Amino acid sequence: LPSSFLCVTVSAVWVGLVCLLFYSRLVRVGAAPICTNGQAGCHILSLADLFDRVIQHSARMHGISSDLHSEFEQYFFPSKNHIGRVNRICHTSTILTPNGKENAQRLAREELTEVILKLLVAWRDPLWHFQQSIAHHHDFNNFSSNKALEMSDMVHELRKGVEKVAEKMQMLGIISNSVNSLTSPEALIPSDRAEWRLMKDYVLLYCFRRDSNKVQNYLKILKCRIIPQHEC
Amino acid sequence: MRRAVGVVYLNLHSFLFFHVLSLCLGYSPPGKPKLTSCRSPEKETFTCWWEPGSDGGLPTTYALYYRKENSDAVYECPDYHTAGENSCFFNKNDTSIWVNYNITVVATNALGSNFSDPVDVDVVYIVQPHTPENVTVTVMEDKDGPFLRVSWEPPRKADTRSGWITLIYELRVKLEGEEEWEEHRAGQQKMFNIFSLRSGGMYLVQVRCKPDHGFWSEWSSTTYIKVPDYFPRETSVWILIAVFSAFIFFILTWILNLKSNSVKHCLLPPVPGPKIKGFDKQLLKNGRSEEVFSALVVPGFPPTTSSDCEDLLVEYLEVYTPEEQELILEEGKDLQEGCLKSKGSPSDSDSGRGSCDSHTLLMEKCGEGEGKEEKHQERAQKGKRQQKHQTGWEEGDVSHTREDVLSPDMSEGRVKTWPSVFSPLPQYSSRPLDHQGSLETARQLCLSDSLFPPPSTSSHLSYNAKEGLALGSGQQEFYLGKKQTHPSNPQSQPRWHLQAHSDFNISSMDRKQAASGLQLPGFRSTEYVEVQRVNQEDMVILQPLFSSSCQRDGHLQIGQGEDYSKVKGVDSGNMLLLQREVEVKREEEDGDRYSCDIQDRVTESCYTTSTAASSQVTGKPTSCAGTAMPVQEEMVLAANGYVDAATMLL
């Protein structure tokens, strides 16, 4: 009898010790879901959250484009001299974009938003075609074609996100309503469709890498101008 | 005309002369310069540095030319001095972001010039900020202990406020004297905490930064910080747990020590070993079976001829005084019932029953049988008191309860515990004795043995003849064996039989009986047994002897021939001495009929085995005769007539 009692005691003590040691791990932190339409039980996205989301999106988009560009550079243009002689003409060069900080800060919010949207719209079709051509080329591995596909999707998503941000800003009265009229794709795409078809894939990647960087930078400027207290 | 040609000829000549002279003197055009790097600290201006080649011994000038993207206009570097030697600084006005610059450096000396390889530059991708500024490290206290808080500021020129540049930071820490740095990414925050410090250690901290697409800055200048001495809190908790565990462990060990035996018994139960008498484990291990089995033959077992049948029987009998008898009778009931082994039918032929050994075994199992024996004897000696039981017998109704009262094993007329048991009154049908078979006779013989103990052992019987004689009102004869009650004998007196023991008593009683006369009612007849044969197992097969002359009146004829059914005695060598009977014809003029058996025989031997028959002979023939008739067929076994074949069997 005493031995059984001892067994019970010792086992209870050990169980207690183990529970004490792992007590801290049992505590969990829950996260509230994010809702889009103001549903009950979730916390509504603020403008700052929207901005953060689109900025992250654009950062990812730029990262993918940089990876693809460096891949192209490695396999197709090994010598640097060859690069220098290529005449890079981007089809989005017709879109006037600020080339410096002062120029960008000089632009109004609406204009800046407009530029962003213009750029995003201009790249939707070329990227889609680029992804198609990459998929059919057997020279590229699956990794590249997946990236190209993701890139073209992201342009589409980012455009929608920026449009949402513009809506929100207009709702909040930060910008005027003139932006909406410019978002229609027909008006934005210049009638130089033939030009981007002539672009080589490498030039296309080069141009897109730069333009994605522009978009990201403009968004950051816009954000810090509108919401300066948030990580600026 | 002639003058122009002469001037040209002179220039050309001087030029050639100069060059030849230069070459003869070892001068050469400049080597090719090389653009080493272009960097922008804040993405608003940038600087390019080049590396000059050999100058060729002559003073060489360098010029930087650049072209912007998609335009053929060539511009020269606006500022050669701000950034130092062999550099070109582009200020804000001249810098365009997201524009591709094609930059070339030209080295020129008197003999010639040399162009460097062109370099394409996009300012966005050449950003390398300055080191973070104002790196401060402080020691802060927490409930878990002290920790370091490192804070810094972005480089002055980088405009992170407007979002133009996004910087991410990194810091590294090491103890003084160590070689490896411990690096931490801090992201975009400008503050960082370092935990798990060594108390009293001196730490070195450095910070650097990088734009999201660009180059890492240089490490900031080292900041030194000393951590004060403290005692880590985690250790104390672990020490407490360790002490507690050790304490419990010691207690467990101590208790285990105390109860080591019971624990050992629980965990490792002892394996029962062989407990066979004479079994030697060592012999078994040796592997020779013959030795093992031979060792098992213990001299004392199995019992051989040397042992006495008596040994298997109860040796001691105690006789209680009469007043105790009734009490014990009552008590004996329960014991007897418990000890009843089998209750055969009244007419049980005792088939399958072993020799007297079975009885002994049965008796031994009933440990309280000895007590019963005593009671039985008491009852027997009671005499009159048991008449009620006897009536039961006479009626032929041998109920269990009745019998139980008398003797436990008398049920069904079986002799179960043999010496102590009263003679069971089996409800025999009138069938000849030989139906009983040899076993029965053997049993009877066995029973008789107790009545014929060797003279030396006669004293072992605790039964005192005198006492026995004192019982009852008169002399009582004790019969051994079965008495068959004849239901048709209304006159049969209740009688009982005492089996066993009373051999010598009887003999002694005989004399007294002769004096006082037997009051034993009823017919006692003894029966002689004739030796039938001796079988191969040294068993004496006896058969009851029926005298054909029983039917005749008065004149008994003994069977022809010799008969050895009379036991002369048992000598010291445990040999049964049979006596040859001498036919005696006796005539009784009183017309009494003697029973077929012993009464007609005259035995000179006054053995201890003298039976009731002899006493009868000398005694009261009248009584015998009274009941002679019906009893003649009875198979009454007198004590003296039987040979204890038990010894023979063994």
DSSP string across B425-465: -----S--GGGGHHHHHHHHHHHHHHHS--GGGGGG----H
Cβ-defined contact of A3 to B248 (cutoff 8 Å): no
Whether B309 shows a pLDDT value over 90: the answer reads no
Average pLDDT for A60-75? 88
* pLDDT value for B482: 41
Using an 8 Å CB-CB cutoff, list chain A residues near B99. 99
Domain A32-226's class?
mainly alpha
State residue B533 phi and psi, 5-degree precision. Answer: -165, 170
* pLDDT value for A200: 75
Cβ-defined contact of B255 to A101 (cutoff 8 Å): no
Cβ-defined contact of A3 to B259 (cutoff 8 Å): yes
Whether B597 shows a pLDDT value over 90: the answer reads no
* pLDDT value for B369: 44
Average pLDDT of the residues of chain B: 66
In this complex, the residue of A59, A99, A223 whose CB is nearest that of residue B99 is A99
Distance from C-alpha of A226 to C-alpha of B503, rounded to nearest angstrom: 137
**How near does any CA of chain A get to the CA of B200, in Å?**
29
DSSP state of B354: -
Q: Based on the number of CB atoms within 10 Å of its own CB, is A93 exposed (0-12), middle (13-18) or buried (19 or more)?
A: middle
pTM: 0.51
Give residue A172's pLDDT band: very low, low, confident or very high (50, 70, 90): confident
* pLDDT value for B217: 95
Nearest Cα residue in chain A from B71: A87
ipTM of the complex: 0.77
- Termini Cα distance of chain B: 178
**Chain A to chain B, count of Cβ pairs less than 8 Å apart?**
76
Instruction: Show the beta-strand stretches assigned E in B40-116.
Output: 46-51, 60-68, 74-76, 87-90, 100-109, 112-115
Q: Are A205 and A25 in contact (CB under 8 A)?
A: no
Average pLDDT for A175-195? 57
Whether B155 shows a pLDDT value over 90: the answer reads yes
**How near does any CA of chain A get to the CA of B323, in Å?**
54
Cβ-defined contact of A6 to B100 (cutoff 8 Å): no
Which residue of B46, B97, B144, B159 is the best one to mutate when testing the A interface, meaning the one whose CB has the most A CBs within 10 A?
B97
Q: What is the pLDDT of residues B186-237, one digit of tens each?
A: 999 999 999 988 888 899 999 999 998 899 999 999 999 999 887 776 777 8
Cβ-defined contact of A232 to B118 (cutoff 8 Å): no
Of residues B614, B424, B430, B421, the one with CA closest to residue B506: B614
Distance from C-alpha of B195 to C-alpha of B191, rounded to nearest angstrom: 14
Nearest Cα residue in chain A from B252: A6
Using an 8 Å CB-CB cutoff, list chain A residues near B188. 231
Q: What is the pLDDT of residues A108-131, one digit of tens each?
A: 998 999 999 999 999 998 898 888
In this complex, the residue of B120, B160, B266 whose CB is nearest that of residue A83 is B120
* pLDDT value for B430: 43
* pLDDT value for B304: 60
The two three-digit tokens of residue B188, written as one number = 């975009």
Q: What is the pLDDT of residues B361-392, one digit of tens each?
A: 444 445 444 444 444 444 444 444 444 444 44
Give residue B53's pLDDT band: very low, low, confident or very high (50, 70, 90): confident
Cβ-defined contact of B162 to A221 (cutoff 8 Å): yes
Q: What sections of chain A are H helices per DSSP? A: 2-21, 23-26, 47-76, 80-85, 101-106, 109-122, 124-136, 142-172, 185-188, 193-198, 201-226
Give residue B572's pLDDT band: very low, low, confident or very high (50, 70, 90): confident
Residues of B with CB under 8 A from a CB of A: 43-44, 69-70, 92, 95-100, 102, 117-120, 122, 124, 159-164, 166, 188, 212-213, 241, 245, 248, 252, 255, 259, 262-263, 266
**How near does any CA of chain B get to the CA of A91, in Å?**
13
State residue B313 phi and psi, 5-degree precision. Answer: -100, 170
Using an 8 Å CB-CB cutoff, list chain B residues near A232. 160-163
In this complex, the residue of A213, A220, A231 whose CB is nearest that of residue B124 is A213
Higher per-residue confidence, A201 vs B456: A201
Whether B47 shows a pLDDT value over 80: the answer reads yes
Using an 8 Å CB-CB cutoff, list chain A residues near B102. 84
Q: How many CB atoms lie within 10 A of CB B187?
A: 10
Q: Are B603 and B614 in contact (CB under 8 A)?
A: yes
Using an 8 Å CB-CB cutoff, list chain A residues near B95. 100
Using an 8 Å CB-CB cutoff, list chain B residues near A6. 252, 255
* Domain coordinates in residue numbering, chain A: 32-226
Q: Are B531 and B636 in contact (CB under 8 A)?
A: no
Q: In what order do the strands lie in the sheet with B145-153?
A: B133-142, B145-153, B191-194
Whether B563 shows a pLDDT value over 90: the answer reads no
Structural domains in chain B plus CATH codes: 26-122 (2.60.40.10), 133-233 (2.60.40.10)
Whether B467 shows a pLDDT value over 80: the answer reads no
Higher per-residue confidence, B451 vs B141: B141
Average pLDDT for A200-223? 91
Whether A43 shows a pLDDT value over 80: the answer reads no
Average pLDDT for B413-426? 43
Give residue A38's pLDDT band: very low, low, confident or very high (50, 70, 90): low
Percentage of chain B exceeding pLDDT 70: 44
**How near does any CA of chain A get to the CA of B37, in Å?**
15
Whether B249 shows a pLDDT value over 80: the answer reads yes
